Structure 1
Amino acid sequence: MQQDTTYINDLIRNRRSVFPDQFEQGKHIPDEIIKEIIINATWAPNHGHNEPWLFTVFTGEGLKTLADFQSSLYRSEAGDSFSEATYKKLQQQPLKASHIIAIGMKRGANKRIPELEDIEAVACAVQNIYLTVSAYGLGGYWTTGGITYKESAKAFFGLEEEDKLLGFFFIGYVAVPSAKSTRAGVEEKVKWVTQ
């Protein structure tokens, strides 16, 4: 079935990360829109129908729950590298979003599928999130900072030892749009083999 290729080309080429400081503070996106965004995420390609994603959505007071958890974990594990600025950022950044989706990779039932392919499937799901957020005229940002790669954080998000926390997707209404961007010409990144 032919789709509007002009629209999809424009959507992909104009998608930009919009950071929490660019969000319209205190404006809540309807949960129904977030549900549609997540449904689109689950239509990402994935080997063997493993569907290895696990999303945890934080909104309302749940944003404070996430902020308290991640700042407390950081404080307890930072040791000599503790930074008050990082601690405050972990406390404050989540409160700037309407919703935050914790992105988990939960190993599917078929363990013969390489772990990397499950990670790649989740990354495809996140791209679906990015594109859907953009289609709704919202701002979004995938961060892998903070507590993302801490083993001790995984249980909070329903992840087990073999699973991975792959970051957090912040969503909000855009107050300050991101600047236009450019990409290197495809000639620099593509090799054609015709014989």
Structure 2
Amino acid sequence: MPDPSSLSRPAGPEHPPMNATTVSPIESLLTRTSLAGAFMKPPAPSDAELEQILGAAQRASDHGRLRPWRFQVVRPEHYEVFFDRLAAAATRVSGDPSRYEVNREKYRLTARAPLLIVAGAKIDTAHKVPAIEQAFAAAGATQLVLNAAHALGYAAYLFSGPGVFDAAFKEELGFGPADHLIGFVCIGTAAGPGKPGPSAEEAIKAGLAHTVTQWQP
């Protein structure tokens, strides 16, 4: 079991992210947290590390072995165009043209992350595996991306927003009407502690009390 005192260790420059060489696998899972792209800096994972991160996603629970998850890597040199299109998509969904600049400014902060991964679910509507189970599998694969990034010592964050529901934006990314955009994973090195929040130990304790019950007939 991990040292309970380590679970309350905050992220930040004075407490660098833990990595696979210093912690056990279970401690890595218990201490995973989210850090918004605005609080990230280079370096991003190397190509070899990125292959490990996306490789971990391939081990998701997958009814029917359909591999419904899809990941697209977006590099910083393409951020300007990508976030322009995402802001436009979010604006179309909201129906308020004045929201474009607000959305775009928000994504400028997100663009501090040195790597972005688009996560989606490609649904095979003709297969006997229900569409919702395929979507669940893709969501599980996305969580494994977050877990693997943390295990390698990187900060990671999943965000979505109204743009994921825009049909035109989905189509640009190769997703059809039956498919889902899960969101966007920012990965990088922690530049600061981010927003204050409960320690991992506190979050786990509160979560267990709120979400776990014992079934009885």
| Shorter-chain TM-score range | 0.7 to 0.9
1:23 to 17, 33, 40: 40
Q: Distance in 1 between matches of 2:50 and 2:170?
A: 23
Q: Residue 17 of structure 2 aligns with which residue? A: none
Q: Residue 69 of structure 2 aligns with which residue? A: 53
Count of paired positions: 188
- Root-mean-square deviation (Å): 2.3
The Cα offsets for residues 17-37 of structure 1, whole Å up to 9 and x where unpaired, read as 01112102x534322211211
Q: Residue 18 of structure 2 aligns with which residue? A: none
Change (3 A) 1:40 1:88: same
Matches for 1:1-195 after TM superposition, within 5 Å = 7-24=24-41, 26-75=42-91, 78-80=94-96, 82-83=98-99, 84-90=101-107, 92-108=108-124, 111-177=127-193, 180-181=199-200, 182-183=203-204, 184=206, 186-193=208-215
Shift of 1:65: 2.7
Structure 1: state its 5+ residue gaps: 1-5
Change (3 A) 1:101 1:189: same
Q: What's the secondary structure of 1:96's corresponding residue?
A: coil
Moved over 4 A (4+): 75-78
% identity of equivalent residues? 24
Structure 2: state its 5+ residue gaps: 1-22
Deviates more, 1:104-113 or 1:31-40: 104-113
Shift of 1:177: 3.2
TM-score, with length taken from structure 1: 0.84
Maintained 8 Å contact 1:66/1:94: no
The Cα offsets for residues 108-167 of structure 1, whole Å up to 9 and x where unpaired, read as 476211111011101111121111011111010011214112222111211112211111
Query: Which residue identity is paired with 1:86?
Result: N
Maintained 8 Å contact 1:144/1:167: yes
Maintained 8 Å contact 1:63/1:94: no
